[in-house]
Chain A
């Protein structure tokens, strides 16, 4: 599936591991939060970077320490109508101060790009097709917003 960053498809260096997979000793890996909770000790010697895949039902503030150490956090969008990741993202960015890459994976719609960016996501793992032209147009139409959010580039009042 295409990974989008700054409006373009990028070559991604991360390997996403599911719960059953053996964890390689090197390579940049993204592992589910519960695997991290179980194998934290063994992973302390991992030579590559480690990222976390966090489910929608996780309260991010309960895992502040692990998140602070992660090199990337991936949140899920199981359906484009499911908005939990937006709240998790703002919690991560604005309340926990997470500064590294924040990725959303799943049923991303081009028309949602602007809101996702404003909530603090900076890369997108698309389930479906990615249309760069529509993305560019759609995410740039609104230049104004009433809310101040993480690294928000929109014009706000006051």
Chain B
């Protein structure tokens, strides 16, 4: 994985010093909150309901063991002993004090990390496929390009006061695990017939109150032209994106109002006029970055070893975990082990300092000291020998980290909601907990199969409810929380926005309503292999509406 050189380190140290100066001026009253706000936001500092919140960048979701230990240390020293992994593959701390924040940024710089642009109307942390580099269906590892974009976008002098926030995701695989269609810019790495790397570029996707699927703006942009092309898109947006209404300020609205052809014409005109040489990556830079993403030194090991088969046949819980949480690795004899942060009735995405320390240790022991954070708020050890899966699992069980539910109904994306967030209109976490309890039975979960439930506590859709096979949106009606249910959304390569089923439900009734929908799905499916989305596509929403509302 990428390791900072002297230049990167100097950069983040200077940035931390700059923020220390800004905080001092804020605390002494020299800087007003109104002027401090955008400055702190661009360092990942929010003012939430109860306290400041710090969101730390985990670029494209990749962490080293020392980095994860440092995050655990921060949770212990400055917070209440836990952190929360987010849908942008970041981690946030909910209880730091403003006066401690400069020290925390220094602590992060010690391990090559920062909180730059995890908030604010600027280019946010670039996200990617959590299985990058190891997925069997990958053209190439997208992370070197993600790192290039991280550097290019960091403290960008031109694009730090955009109309609104700007999110970029990149994948190198056909199966889209990075939800690129729901990003301001989505990028798919491709190889042309000549074997050259290039990128399909999508623009104008997003969730929020106006969900839209991104539209393709270029079939294939060369590696050389990637950064200039991004400059052209961002410049068109910075100049023409709406600034009169923050709810219409994202690029998706500009693309929608101009039409993709009209927007593309603007971008191409700017692109043609750009003095591109200065905007490209410096010579040799991409090769330098790529050097950090060479595959680890895999050993030659026997695939599907007998020890694994034996352990699976003797231990049903382990077998369930392998079925749900272990994915195919491109190297024979190795596996991708997914660690669920969705224990039954737990808080989705939360991890304690002890759990973080344990995962850091296990990563060193079993997975070349590398950890991935997923946008679905779980962790991944990406290079585990199949013959060591059982040992790994045994170490995870006592820490509450062996829940066998990756991709299952209890593996919900859930925003922090009204328990923390200043924007929320309803609580999300207790809803997730009730649903999790309702579907706790492992056998039932396995019978239901893959099913993505996503919960947002307000229209801003941080919990990606639009992209949920079942989406839940928490709203407020005259002081009462209620929840709208959508069906048929998807965040993968067949991206779709879910449709609202009908009147909402009270917090007490949501889990029951989900139960009804799932039972209807199980009745309707032709075979156990027919997925929830396939059934919805085949029968439409009516049978589900009928099941939910027939008695009312």
Interface residues of A (CB under 8 A from B): 59, 61, 80-84, 86-88, 90-91, 94-95, 109, 111-112, 114-116, 118-119, 134, 137-138, 141-149, 155-158
Contacts and interface: CB of A to CB of B under 8 A. Distances in A.
A119 B22 contact: no
B14 A134 contact: no
B80 interface: no
Contacts of A137: 21
B11 A86 contact: no
Contacts of A157: 7, 151, 282, 285
Contacts of B238: 83-84, 86-87
B157 A143 contact: no
Interface string B119-143: 0010000000000000000000000
B503 interface: no
B235 A87 contact: yes
B100 interface: no
Contacts of B332: none
B209 interface: no
Given A119-B157, A137-B21, A146-B155, A94 B35 contact: no
Which of the listed residues A90, A91, A111, A146 has the most CB atoms from chain B within 10 Å of its own CB? A146
Contacts of B162: 83
B218 interface: no
Interface in B273-287: 273-275, 278-279, 281-285
A114 to B, nearest CB: 7
Interface in B9-34: 10-11, 14-15, 17-18, 21-22, 25, 30
Contacts of B112: none
Contacts of B273: 61, 91, 95
A142 B16 CA distance: 10
B39 interface: yes
Given A142-B18, A147-B157, 9 more contacts: A80-B35, A84-B239, A137-B21, A142-B155, A146-B156, A157-B282, A157-B285, A158-B283, A158-B284
Nearest to B283: A158
Contacts of B284: 158
A130 B282 CA distance: 37
A121 to B, nearest CB: 10
Contacts of A142: 11, 14-15, 18, 155
Contacts of A158: 281-285
Contact of B35 (A87, A109, A146): A109
B103 to A, nearest CB: 17
Interface of B: 7, 10-11, 14-15, 17-18, 21-22, 25, 30, 35, 38-39, 121, 151-152, 154-162, 235, 238-239, 243, 273-275, 278-279, 281-285
- Closest 10 pairs between A and B when the two form their complex, measured CB to CB: A158-B282, A83-B161, A118-B157, A115-B157, A141-B18, A144-B11, A146-B151, A87-B238, A86-B158, A87-B235
A73 to B, nearest CB: 16
Contact of A94 (B38, B161, B275): B275
A80 B14 CA distance: 23
A57 to B, nearest CB: 8
A115 B38 CA distance: 14
Nearest to B235: A87
A74 B290 CA distance: 43
Nearest to A150: B278
Contacts of B275: 94-95
A81 B220 CA distance: 34
A155 B157 CA distance: 14
A138 B10 contact: no
A114 B39 CA distance: 13
Contacts of B151: 146, 157
Which of the listed residues A95, A111, A145 has the most CB atoms from chain B within 10 Å of its own CB? A111
B161 A143 contact: no
A61 B238 CA distance: 15
Given A80-B161, A94-B275, A109-B35, A88 B155 contact: no
Contacts of B283: 158
A88 B121 CA distance: 18
Given A86-B238, A95-B275, A134-B30, A111 B22 contact: yes
A112 B31 CA distance: 13
Contacts of B278: 94, 148-149
A87 B156 contact: no
B21 A145 contact: no
B14 A141 contact: yes
Which of the listed residues A109, A144, A156 has the most CB atoms from chain B within 10 Å of its own CB? A144
A86 B163 CA distance: 12
A137 B15 CA distance: 13
B156 to A, nearest CB: 6
Contacts of A149: 157-158, 278
A112 B22 CA distance: 12
Given A81-B161, A145-B155, A111 B39 contact: yes
20 contacts: A81-B38, A81-B161, A83-B160, A83-B162, A86-B157, A86-B158, A86-B160, A86-B238, A87-B235, A91-B273, A119-B158, A142-B11, A142-B155, A144-B14, A145-B157, A146-B156, A147-B157, A157-B7, A157-B285, A158-B282
Contacts of B239: 59, 84, 87-88
Contacts of A138: 18, 21
A83 B159 contact: yes
B77 to A, nearest CB: 26
Nearest to A93: B275
A38 to B, nearest CB: 24
B10 A81 contact: no
A149 B238 CA distance: 17
B415 to A, nearest CB: 25
B155 A91 contact: no
B55 to A, nearest CB: 20
A141 B25 contact: no
B7 A143 contact: no
